[in-house]
Amino acid sequence: MANGQGYGGTGGYGAPPPQVPYGQAPYGQAPYGQNPYEQNPYAQPAPPPQPQPYPAQPQPQPPAPRPLYAAARPGGFPGPAPRRNRAAVLLQFLLQWIYAPLWVLGLVLLFVVLIFADYNGSGPSSDGWLKVNRSFVPPRRLRAELSGRPEHWERYVAPILARRIAAAEAAHAAGDGEVQADLGRVVQIRLPLRLYRGLGAAGVVRLAERHGWHGVAAGTDAGHVRLARHFPAPAALNAPSPQDPPAAPGTPWGPQPVRFAPLLPFVFLLQILYVPVYGLLTCWVSRPEPDHWDRWGARWTVGPRAFRAEFTDSPAAWDRHIRRILERDATRLRAAAARTPGTTPVHRIRLNRATYRGAGAQQALRLATEHGWTLDPAYAPDPANSLRLTRPDLP
């Protein structure tokens, strides 16, 4: 048949399957025998989301409650404390001019009563009630309390911090400070919260770093901030050897002039009266030298043990006096070591100028060397005022 449907035609029964006229799918597509849905874009999985040209905006969160004492980053120092009530600050500022003088007068009367009464020494464990200044608001701090602005608090606490740092460094020069393992010394100061409330401990540490100090997190709490500075040990000890020839009299390491012998009995008797009077009249004075009273006592007092040595000014008497003081200090250190068994501390003692005035610092060092003592490398020698000795063990 002309249409190919009849017998023997190309489309009848038993005829071969029709061929694709083009052989291959156009433009490189798969032939019809494969999955016809492979080229369907709707049959493919959805592509991964593309990044947006602008980041998503965060959703607003409710404000967190303000802590009672704001803290800085982890491991840092606390921030500013909450402000005090302005009305309470003004009321305290006005009333302090009335209760502060009455407080001081009451303390004076209390001490007078205790002197003449049979006082057994018992009382409150804290001495805070003796310090009137803790509840006193000076006019310079009033503005900072009322405004609460950090710049006002910084302007108030900066000079206070500078004075305390200067006093601490002067105390270190006079021999103060805690000796460390590297023979350096650490000096510390502490400021109460009332001095830096609106600045925070972190602000005080920032001010202290300008002076070469740093904050101590272990001693800083909600009521205080502790600052410290590490001073290295002296590079070299400029001191004579015990085997060197004796130093000349009047030199720092040589014998010092003793006082007029006929005046010593009067000094020995009158010091019972004027020493307490001087102490009461000057107890409020802040002195940067930690050994101020030792220097004052070496000049204006005489001890019963040193009376004979200074009165006779005999070398033998001075040597006996120095050995007696060395043995006394060694006995005290042995008792302290017995209370802490199992430890081998480094023992340190300090000989005052009054102990070796007529013999000289070099002679005192020579006698101390016989008992195993040497100059302490953690301190710069100051023979005009004191002699610091050390010993690693004490039998």
For 315-332, the pLDDT digits (tens) are: 999 999 999 999 999 999
Residue 61: predicted pLDDT: 57
Q: Which DSSP letter does residue 43 get?
A: G
Residues 225 and 192: beta-carbon distance below 8 Å: no
Q: What does the buried/exposed string (b/e) look like for 131-145 if buried means 16 or more CB atoms within 10 Å of the residue's CB?
A: ebeeebbeeebeebb
Taking 60 as the threshold, does the pLDDT of residue 211 lie above it?
yes
**Is 176 a residue whose pLDDT tops 60?**
yes
| Predicted structure pTM score | 0.67
**Per-residue pLDDT at 128:** 55
Phi-psi region of 44 (alpha: psi -120 to 50; beta: other; left: phi over 0): beta
Cross-strand partners of 352? 386
pLDDT, tens only, 97-148: 888 788 778 877 877 777 666 555 555 555 555 666 677 888 889 999 998 8
Q: What is the mean pLDDT of the chain?
A: 80
Alpha-carbon torsion (253, 259, 260, 261), positive or negative? negative
Which residue blocks in the chain are alpha helix, DSSP H? Answer: 86-116, 139-147, 150-173, 200-209, 264-281, 292-300, 307-312, 315-338, 361-370
CA distance 295 to 352: 8
